[in-house]
Homo-oligomer: A and B are copies of this chain.
């Protein structure tokens, strides 16, 4: 995953101004390995910036996504963001339903999927959901305070 500095540098190189809010965003995504919704981010940022507005968060998430420092994934509950994965080789993810951390799976099923007949493959998705070692322990017990907003609803 990109580090806080890498994120800031990329933004700076592309002519974006490094405001205090953006520094905080970079830090958040540079250090937090899981997926966050716009709301999660808003709530987190809100602790530090009292007058914070939702639209600024959205704007920055979008800018960062377009710049390529953030990834965006569609879950059932909505869109979530995380720092871009710096793995270079193609891979997939196991995603923890509680803490939302992701673990790379280097195995890609496409190699083994006999693209049938005349189907022209353009893209594929392979994602595994479950509970990671950390979160597997306290199965459904007390909310074991994940780094940021982790609800154990199991929806995907």
Residues 66-108 of A, flagged 1 when their CB comes within 8 A of B and 0 if not, give 0000000011100000000000000000101100000101010
Chain B contacts for A13, CB-based, 8 A? none
Closest CB-CB distance, A104 to chain B, in whole Å?
9
- Are A120 and B127 interface neighbours, CB within 8 A? no
Interface with B: A3-11, A24-32, A50-58, A111-119, which one?
A111-119
- Are A132 and B112 interface neighbours, CB within 8 A? no
Closest CB-CB distance, A25 to chain B, in whole Å?
23
With A74-B75, A112-B112 given, is the CB distance from A103 to B130 under 8 Å? no
- Are B136 and A119 interface neighbours, CB within 8 A? yes
- Give chain A's interface residue range (CB within 8 Å of chain B): 35 or more
Q: Is A128 an interface residue (CB 8 A)?
A: yes
Distance of A97 Cα from B125 Cα, bound (Å)? 14
Closest residue of chain B to A94 (Cβ to Cβ) is B119
With A94-B119, A107-B109, A109-B112 given, is the CB distance from A126 to B129 under 8 Å? no
Chain B contacts for A97, CB-based, 8 A? 122
Q: Is A110 an interface residue (CB 8 A)?
A: yes
Closest CB-CB distance, A74 to chain B, in whole Å?
5
- Are B129 and A122 interface neighbours, CB within 8 A? yes
Chain B contacts for A121, CB-based, 8 A? 94, 128-130
